Amino acid sequence: MPRFTILDRYILREFLWGTLAAVVVLLVIFTGSTFADVVNKVATGRLPGGIMFTVLGLGLVNTLQALLPMAMFLGMLLALGRMYRDSEMHVLAASGFGPTGLLKPAALFGVGTAIVVALVALWLGPLAARTSNAEVAQANRSVIAAGLEAGRFTSLAGRGGILFANTVSPDGTRLGKLFVASEHVGKDGAVSLSVITANHGELFQEGQVDNRFIALHDGYRYDIHLDHDNWRVMQFRRNDIALAQPSDAAAGDDPQSLRTTPSLFGDRDPDARAELQWRIAVPFGPLVLAMLALPMARQGPRSSPVGRILIAVLAYLVIMNLMTLARTFIASGKLAAPLGMWWVLVPVFVGAAWVFARQYATRTPRTAGTAT
């Protein structure tokens, strides 16, 4: 068991508070972007509104892979930067507190963050993605999750029009007396209304793209052409109407990202190998960023922290973009899978360690030249 000194606990506590502050800010940003995407899918009918917050929460779980390393990086910079500006680090250095005193708490904090990120990348993130897709698939089998409630007019997202049912079964698949109205504009600009009434209906799915339909039974259809007198009435035993296709909600998902980590081992598919290399490399990101934070945090007592934070964000974005580029190269076969993202992480770690060692290296005083 490592022995923690008072200074170790103090520095770790500063790291923790700085990281928590960064997590709050980043969580607001990540939640806002994820929420906007989910709301857009709900508005266009690609996602049932009843499970919007479930999908939002599960989506945020997967974003922890990017949020936690960045929050740790910024938290360490904030904590160490404050200690430098308040001259605490200079007092500690004068008291014999060398670079190894910072390496120990930084390493412990980086390892702790790496363990959490590894848990998300290797297990929790893919599980959340699969659970989210399963929730969407299950909800699409029910008109209740799609927003239809008994006794209320509901907009048919994705196709226009409104639908009314006086009763809905508990499982959301069978409906009572129905009223459906929609508006159409012809090529000549003429507007027509379509009104359908039915004794009962039921929700069903068919086709390879998992299309949703409502089967209307024992009713009438009225085609009303505005500004014309050629209205039409039809009686039917069954009439099917299509709802918005739910398959678009997960169209942007990478199938490999839904697989369990053990299933990726041994798979020779380039996409699977790229996904596996990504999941292995991401947990080492916090260790690299912890090492990088040590030399970047050093500053003078009167220095502003804004510039350091901006540089840190830029450095994080460059590293993540290079890792994403490496993932793309592996998936396309342009880069050997064993090389993975190590060509990005290792040089950054070694370079940060070299700069940190140079900052604390003992400098030999210059000797004055002898006058002749």
The three-state DSSP-derived secondary structure of the chain is CCCCCHHHHHHHHHHHHHHHHHHHHHHHHHHHHHHHHHHHHHHCCCCCHHHHHHHHHHHHHHHHHHHHHHHHHHHHHHHHHHHHHCCHHHHHHHCCCCHHHHHHHHHHHHHHHHHHHHHHHHHHHHHHHHHHHHHHHHHCCCCCCCCCCCCCCEECCCCCCEEEECCECCCCCEECCEEEEEEEECCCCCEEEEEEEEEEEEEEEECCCCEEEEEEEEEEEEEEECCCCCCEEEEEEEEEEECCCHHHHHCCCCHHHHCCHHHHCCCCCHHHHHHHHHHHHHHHHHHHHHHHHHHHHCCCCCCCHHHHHHHHHHHHHHHHHHHHHHHHHHHHCCCCHHHCCHHHHHHHHHHHHHHHHHHCCCCCCCCCCCCC
In a domain, 228, yes or no: yes
Residue-level pLDDT at 22: 92
Tell me what pLDDT residue 192 has. Answer: 81
Question: Would you call 69 exposed, middle or buried from its count of C-beta atoms within 10 A (0-12, 13-18, 19+)?
Answer: buried
User: 293 with 159, same domain?
Assistant: no
285 and 338 both lie in a single domain: yes
Per-residue pLDDT, 251 = 46
**Same structural domain, 237 and 268:** no
Amino acid 156: pLDDT: 67
User: How far apart are alpha carbons 88 and 83 in whole angstroms?
Assistant: 5
Same domain membership, residue 182 and residue 233: yes
What interhelical angle do 52-85 and 125-139 show, nearest 10?
A: 150
| Structural domain harbouring 208 | 154-242
The reply to whether 231 and 327 lie within a common domain is no
**Residue 235 CA to chain centroid, in angstroms?**
49
Q: Say how far apart CA 309 and CA 332 lie, in whole Å.
A: 35
> Would residue 230 count as lying in a domain?
yes
Residue 149 domain-assigned? no
Residue 250, pLDDT score: 47
Nearest Cα residue to 77 out of 283, 302, 316: 316
Domain count, the chain: 2
Please identify, among 242, 272, 305, the residue that sits at the C-terminal boundary of a domain: 242
Residues 79 and 193 in one domain: no
All residue ranges of the chain with pLDDT < 70 are 1-2, 42-50, 98-99, 138-149, 156-160, 171-172, 207-211, 243-253, 300, 360-372
In a domain, 188, yes or no: yes
Residues 313, 275 share a domain: yes
Report yes or no on 290 lying in a domain.
Answer: yes
Residue with tokens 């409502």: 214
187 and 296 both lie in a single domain: no
Q: Indicate if 229 and 353 belong to the same structural domain.
A: no
In a domain, 224, yes or no: yes
The residue from 187, 214, 242 where one domain ends is 242
Give every CB contact of residue 307 below 8 A, 6+ residues apart in sequence: none
Question: Is residue 208 assigned to a domain?
Answer: yes
**Residues 171, 129 share a domain:** no
Residue 1 located in a structural domain: no
Do both 52 and 102 map to the same domain? yes
Same domain (yes/no): 82, 125? yes
